[in-house]
Structure 1
Amino acid sequence: MTRLLNNKAIPVILFLALALVPLYSSVFDDRFVLLFATRILILALAALSLDFILGLGAMVSFGHAAYLGLGAYAVGILAAHDIWDAWISFPVAILVSAIFAAITGAISLKTRGVYFIMITLAFGQMAYYTATSLSAYGGDDGLTMWGRSEFFGTDLFANDTSFYLLVLAILLGAYALLKRIAASRFGRVLKGVRQNEARLHALGIDPFGYRLAAFVIAGVLAGIAGALMANQTEFVSPAYMSWHRSGELIVMVVLGGLGYLHGAILGAIAYLMLEEVLSGYTQHWRLIFGPLLILVVLYARGGILGLIKGRAK
């Protein structure tokens, strides 16, 4: 009963709490909380996409932030050419992310272990340095957008509350989709690859296509997160693609609970809240956060979700 309560209740409580943020912001007239929560949801979407391939298929991608940047640049570059319609910019962001994920994934998935980590890092850095060389679109300084995308001429993106609810709906939809995939035959094959790939080959199943499809799905979701981030900040930077951001996404997944999709969302919330609090005391906040993360890894098996479930027993 306790296990059922944990697995079913935690995501419901989590999304209900997130849905109440606009109400809190309105009652207490606190716009910062709404903007900060929007940033959390966007990075939670990126972390969720990484957890799908890392927790389910054991694919440690150290260049996952590249898709975040590609989605952001798709929106930013189109805006620079006076194309603001979300029905154009978001499909372009999805297409670019999918193509890049398909090409890099087809190459990266030929490797295993540390080689896979290094080649995904190499592709991520390749995208990063390509962005820094785009002098027509800001280069190292990034690209400023003079507004947000339009949605059939409405202010859906311009209004902070409606934009937050849109991001929350996308996150909820992505979570539901990935949960459905994880429970399907497709998801079971990915879990089989993580446990014993040789046995799958013995059963006549070639997991390469499954792993590549999962890699592309994760890249697309991260690209959508990048497109949303560009709209929230109204700014696009090569830093979105750096290996530091990829490392942060991995930390979010591990901190929340590897292998549990809602764990990635909890990890994003915890990471960004700790960053906000600790950075208020010192600019070297990572010196404090690092030991905290080590303690979580050593003594809290399963991250934050592991702690919650441990207390529920």
Structure 2
Amino acid sequence: MKASPALARALLAALLIAALLLPMIAPTYYLQFFAKAMLLAIVAASLNLVVGFGGMVSLCHGAFFGLAGYVLALASPSSSGASLWTSLPLALLVVAVAAALVGALALRTRGIYFIMATLAFGEMFFYFFHDTRVANGSDGIYIYFEPEIVIAGWRLVDLGNKTSFYYVALASLLLAIIVISTLVRSPFGAALMAARDNEQRARSLGFPVFRIRLTAFVLAAVLAGIAGYFSASQFGFVAPQTLGWHVSATLLIMVVLGGMKSVLGPVFGAFALLGLEEILKSNIEHWKLIEGVIVIALVFMLPGGLQHLAQLVFADRRAPAGQPGSGASSAGRQHHG
């Protein structure tokens, strides 16, 4: 069943317009919530580059998210804010080096062994910051001043302003979507998916599989680092828990909930999961239990994620019977499948 491209584009345009207009009508609390959701959507979408398009289930992606926040905290002077022009590249460089080292070792394994290797590396990052005094150990570290975006002595953007920060988060999300979409549609993306589908065949065609996977792993970590940098700036605090495996597991749930076969699936998965949590925790005492039940039910009912639901709702019904996109053709394929 083929989704109508025109209808899908119209819906995305409407969502973008709504996102641009939201600060004009929404209270500050909701601006902070949606900024947080957009940053986590970046991390989920970047994880999908590794999991959905690369076929590599990583459980240390949250570590790269938290590591960027720690770099910002350690690079920020105690008396003034760090310059974004220096602290952001520094954070992304540290994340890229860490991801390259982790990937170079973990990608020598496959399947469950890769999952366990990334889990082990993620826990190493967690315990490094938890058990040492590098950044106040388990107490975490505060960021007292927002990073400054200054050009020629003029402050371009005030990240301390909730509206300004919201638009920075929105711009970062749009940039991440564009970057991931470009990568997926490029020859690099085709090679990455070929290695996911059949590694031996990809090797026989001359694809440098290890290099392609490592590049995707590092690029995904850098995108997660961008979100981690701004997330630390938003809350003004970084703790070892931001590097823990449960963060990576939550991100993986967002990917599965949204759908692993599209760029936007994990974005909607992130908003859906955070929105569900926001509704449940304000109305139900043991909301985590209810959340788990709902997520499990959604996974069973929509094995393709929320993107599958979107395909059903926005199905292209203009195609003649028997042609791709028509109900009869789809039913026939399902019957014979």
Fold conserved between structures, TM > 0.5:
yes
1:42 and 2:39 are equivalent in the alignment: yes
| Aligned partner (choices 117, 120, 131) of residue 119 of structure 1 | 117
Partner of 2:330 in structure 1? none
List per-residue Cα deviations over 1:150-200 (Å, max 9, x = no partner). 111525211111111111111101111110110010000011011111111
Q: 1:70 maps to what in 2? A: 67
Distance 1:10 1:97, change over 3 A: farther
**Distance (whole Å) between structure 1 residues aligned to residue 25 and residue 164 of structure 2:** 14
Deviation at residue 10 of structure 1 after TM alignment:
4.6
Q: Which runs of structure 2 are paired with 1:267-286 in the superposition (5 Å)?
A: 267-286=269-288
Report the secondary structure of 1:261's partner residue. Answer: coil
Q: Deviations over 1:118-175 (max 9, x none)?
A: 1001101100111112425221111111121111152521111111111111110111
The correspondence for 2:131, drawn from 130, 133, 138, is 133
Query: Which residue, 228, 231, 256 being the options, matches 2:230?
Result: 228
Identity %, equivalent residues = 39
Please say if 1:210 is aligned against 2:187.
no
Task: Show the counterpart of 1:110.
Answer: 108
Give 5+ residue unaligned stretches, structure 1: none
**Are the aligned partners of 1:263 and 1:305 in contact in 2 as well (CA < 8 Å)?**
yes
Alignment map for 1:1-313 (pairs within 5 Å): 2-5=3-6, 8-25=9-26, 30-80=27-77, 84-152=82-150, 154=155, 155-313=157-315
Pick which of 283-292 and 77-86 moved more: 77-86
Residues 8 and 314 of structure 2 are in contact (CA less than 8 Å); yes or no, is this contact kept in structure 1?
Answer: no
Q: Which stretch of the first structure deviates more once superposed, 136-145 or 174-183?
A: 136-145
1:284 and 1:62 map into 2 onto residues whose CA distance is 26
- 1:53 touches 1:218 (CA, 8 Å); kept in 2? yes
Dislocated runs of 4+, deviation >6 Å: none
Q: Judging changes above 3 Å, is the alpha-carbon distance between structure 1 residues 15 and 52 closer, same or farther for their aligned structure 2 residues? A: farther
Structure with bigger gyration radius: 2
Amino acid at match of 2:267: I
1:266, 1:18 → 2: CA distance? 14
SS of match in other structure, 2:261 = coil
C-alpha RMSD of matched pairs (Å): 1.6
Distance 2:132 2:4 in 1: 51
* Cα distance in 1 between the residues matched to 2:259 and 2:95: 26
User: What count of residue pairs does the alignment treat as equivalent?
Assistant: 309
Q: TM-score, normalised by structure 1?
A: 0.94
In 2, Cα distance between equivalents of 1:247 and 1:7: 30
- Give per-residue Cα distances to partners, 1:62-118, cap 9 Å, x unaligned: 110000111100111111555611111101110010000000001111111111111
Give the secondary-structure state (helix, strand or coil) at the position aligned to 2:297. Answer: helix
Unaligned runs of 5+ in 2: 316-337
Structure (1 or 2) with the greater helix fraction: 1
Displacement, 1:255? 1.0
For residues 13 and 103 of structure 1, the distance between their equivalents in structure 2, rounded to whole angstroms, comes to 42
